Amino acid sequence: MKRWLVVLAVFGLIAAACTAGDGESEVPEGLGETGATGEEQEPVTIEMWIPFSADHEVAGVQQVFDRFEQEYPWITVDVRKGVASDQKVISAIRAGTPPDAVMSWSLDDLPAFCDTGAWQDLTPYTEATDFDASLFPPSVARYTGFGGKQCAFPFLTDALGLYYNTDILEEAGYTEPPQTMSELTQMAKDLTVFNADGSIERAGFVPWFGYYMMTPPELAITFGADFYNDDGTSAIGTDPDWVELFQWQKDLVDFYGADNLRKFVAGQGDEWGEASQDFQNGRIAMAIDGEWRTAFIANGTPDLNYATAPFPVPDDQADTYGIGRVGGTIIGIPRGSAHPEEAWLLVSFMATDTDSLVAAANAIGNVPTTLPALESPELDLPEQFQTFLDIFGNPGSHYKDMSIIGSTDQNLLGDFAERWQAGDVADLQAGLQAVAQQINDEIEAAS
């Protein structure tokens, strides 16, 4: 008797192991027809995943959903917050259980998503509904589509500019921010204070790659340095603006001393704390940072006297002054979405409804992404925020060109940049060409 019980238990275990989880599921079928808007009346619940998790940010997005539900009363939006990594979305798409709509912070992954259909091409929808794309500034098209397909809409964006501490500038006799790179270099040197032992007490501007937002891709936009040629090959080895960028950076690094900078950077305050970031504490006089910093300053260090301006441009490109790196949150419909028509209604509403965008921008402190929203009198943001609205509206502003290898190109360039600033690269041009070659190899291997 006892032995049969044991055998039964074993069989039970086997059965459980066999039925738990299967292998890969079939790739879900593509979309059906793009339905007309707003004619179904049976209640539908759709699921949207968002990366935000901080309370005030989630509340800022929630009010958009509330407005949407008022406009389309038969649709309920079920929000899952805190999904900050694309990997969860990828797993869900592969398992055939993706959310109906999704929001992401990872712009670099969009070409891969677009190319493989993981985020659905929205062109059939935009054509069926005569969508008015002129609502968006020109930069938007460059970071929401790839290979002729439009796979995403923007939902609030970021813009990078120059922050400067007006008190520190005044002390040194400056009233205007730098507009060219040579002015930036001069002011950086003048505003720096060294300790007796040679270490940096206060830095005018930290040129060290890896320090907060100071990375090659962020600087590339204002330098006019392109990542890719029109044919999709890497332009890093051929575009002379890259040489200019790296040489400018090295000159300023040499002024400070690489080891001094390393020590200084090691002592940096937490970038995302309320009041800990170096610029907020006067440890640096000028910085490249995004529009979100205004909210941090208003909340954490409201007594700071600062101003913002577009980031300086090379002396020989002075007429481009006013542009900046832009690009931010994107929303789309994943492959296998159970309710694509309702998801389209949600996504297009979020991307275009002026009141929602303005309210979200006010709550989260990001830049609203349509031209009407940019000009709305309801925007309630610090005066220093205007710079970023202007940068985003500037037709010359854009995000770096993207490719199907995602952030590999930035990683390879960043790796090179670290060696460069440490002084380990003898031949800049050759080094850049090597990076370009690697990027081309990676793209070829991934195609």
Chain contacts with another protein (rule: CB under 8 A):
7, 10, 13-14, 17-18, 27, 84-85, 87, 90, 93-94, 105-106, 108-109, 112-113, 116-118, 209-213, 215, 259, 262-268, 271-272, 404-408, 410-412, 414-415, 417-419, 422, 424, 438, 441, 445-447
**Residue 94 or 149 with smaller CB distance to another protein:** 94
Q: How far is the CB of 327 from another protein (least distance, A)?
A: 11
Rank residues 118 and 379 by Cβ distance to another protein and give the closer one.
118
Beta strands across the sheet bearing 44-49: 75-80, 44-49, 101-104, 330-332, 153-154
In whole angstroms, how close is the CB of 430 to another protein at the nearest point? 14
Residue number with CB closer to another protein (23 or 43): 23
The residue (of 51 and 177) whose beta carbon lies closer to another protein is 51
Minimal distance in Å, beta carbon 264 to another protein?
7
The residue among 223 and 264 lying less far from another protein, judged by its C-beta, is: 264
Q: Nearest approach, Cβ of 114 to another protein (angstroms)?
A: 10
Query: 148 or 302: whose CB is closer to another protein?
Result: 148
- Nearest to another protein of 141, 422 (CB atom): 422
Q: In angstroms, give the least distance from the CB of 6 to another protein.
A: 8
Minimum gap (Å) between residue 226 Cβ and another protein: 19
Min CB(300)–another protein separation in Å: 17
Q: Give min distance, CB of 441 to another protein, in A.
A: 4
- Between 29 and 303, CB nearer to another protein: 29
